Every structure is written in structure tokens, then in C-alpha cells.
Amino acid sequence: MTPTVSPPRPFGRTLCAMITPFTDTGSLDLDGAGLLADRLVADGCDGLVLSGTTGESPTTTDAEKAALIAAVREAVAGRASIVAGVGTFDTRHTVELALAAQKAGADGLLVVGPYYSRPPQEALEAHFREVADACGLPLMLYDIPERTGIRIEPETVVRLAGHPRIVAVKDCSHDFLGAQKVLARTELAYYAGCDEHNLALYAVGAAGYVSTVANVAPRRLRAVLDAFDAGDTARAARLQRGVTPLIESMMSSGLPGAVTAKALLAALGLPAGPVRPPLRPAGREAADGLLRAYESLTAP
């Protein structure tokens, strides 16, 4: 049986880590962003995460980040939450981005661990608290040690859960035991950040997911959680297994998710544009393989 009490979902349940569309010349495509955001919400996303890893945040300017929030906010018109990625390796800059995101109309903040600097846990905790103290928006911790070089340890997350504006976690740690420890000891909304874990974490009490694959298959991913909520766990498992080849093609092929998502979106005639250097577009063979994996999906 599914749980009778739903977990907290401050930003929704089915969130897309949205790509940042660019024009053919590499400038920000705000019209394309609005069109894509509208399509994602219409196809089942109740939250959009902007300027995260998939959104190529290291290569967009502060002004572009704010403009993207405003354009997407206008496009979705209150139909979905907007969570803005503001994390950097500089606490002061992160606070500036948080305040700018609030002014631009974001509903929440995604704050990644400070990469490169690799502060110890005490300093890491202080970093998140300073950002949360400086801004009135609720905050989602983003734990992705493969990219940052540092883990937000479960004990640190538990302590941070006491802050009134730290309300959620996007988990890309691949530590299923650690996730369950946090779920057991806090009221944080826990979101799977790796698509292969969407159903597994949901089954033990997670709020939902923040998905890169949702850029191209939002209905299919939502169907997994819908089936679970309806009590049809066998169907949920079958649907999750069915989307696994696409997840593998997009997220475990040696190419970043921003590259694979944009290649597929372009093939589907949806707003995407090029990636910004140092990323490079998918080659023809990789793009063809991604399209085959997408076309192999059956209806949910």
C-alpha cells in the first residue's frame, strides 16, 4: 500500500531540471524558454528548476539568470513553481544571486555545495545558513558530490533542517542509506536528482524528483509516480524499468545531461539551441542513439 500521509512538497512533485535554450548564435533564447516551459507544464511538470546543472548555470551571466526567471514566470503564469539555481563557490555571490532571483519572481532557490573550494562540513553548513538568512525564499539543498567534490553529509543536512527556510534536498549523492536516514529524522522534502532513483526514493517517502530526462519525457516520468500513488506499484515498477534505457542514454553515456537533452529536444523540434563551451554538442552517432532510445518508449 502507498503511504496515507503525503510528504511535504513545497515545490511540487514532478520537477524538471530545465535546459536553458540559446539561439543559433549562442545568446539567451527567452522566447524559446517560455515555449519550452509552457510545454513542460502542460505535459505534467508542476515545478521547473532553472539555472541548475542541466541549465548550464556556470556559463550564463547573472543578468541572464534573472531574465530567464522572469520569462519563465510569465510563461507558466502560476501553474508551476519556479526554483532558481543560485549556488556558486562564493558565499557572497550566492547571496547576490539569491536576492536577484527573489526580485525576478522565483518561488524557491536551489543551492549547490560550493564546488572547488571544498570547505569542511562546519563551513559548508555556515554557507547554507548565510544564504538562507539573507533571502526570504525557501531553499533546496543540492547534493551532487561528483561535480562539487564535496558531500553534504547526512548529519549536516539534519542540522540544516532546523532552519525555517531550508525545506528540501535535491539528492544526487547515490547514497540511498544516507537518504533514508535524512528522511527518517527530518521533515525535509526529499527530491531524487538522478532519474534512476525516482521511484525508489519515492517509495520510501521522497517528495518527488528533479529530473533532466523530464525535458523530453515529462508525461512518462510522471506516470511512474501517478501509478505508485494509485496503489499500482507493479505498474509503477514496470514504467520505471521501461524508461531506464532512455535514462541510461541521456545520463550514463559519457555526455552531460545538458548535451543529451538539447540533442533530443532539437530532434523533436523543441526549443534548445547549442550548448555553450566548454560543452560541445552531441555527435551524429550519439544523437541518433538518443533518438532511438526515445522512440522506443511505449505509451504510459
Q: Long-range contact list for 287-294, CB < 8 A, 24+ apart?
A: 287/263, 289/249, 289/253, 290/249, 290/250, 290/253, 290/260, 290/263, 290/264, 291/264, 291/267, 293/245, 293/246, 293/248, 293/249, 293/250, 294/216, 294/217, 294/246, 294/264, 294/267, 294/268
CA distance 62 to 68: 10
Identify residue 240 by its one-letter amino acid code: Q
CA dihedral 279, 281, 282, 283 (to 10 degrees): -120
C-alpha cell of 20? Answer: 536553458
Beta-ladder partners of 127 = none
Give the integer Cα–Cα distance in Å for 81 and 140: 13
CB-side neighbour CA atoms (13 Å) of 142: 28
103 has catalytic annotation: no
* Residue 294 annotated to the active site: no
Which single residue is written with the C-alpha cell 507544464? 41
Catalytic residue among 65, 103, 142, 190: 142
- Among 65, 115, 116, 170, which one carries the catalytic annotation? 170
Inter-residue contact 145 to 121 (CB < 8 Å)? no
Q: What phi and psi, each to the nearest 5 degrees, are found at residue 145?
A: -60, -25
Catalytic center residues: 142, 170
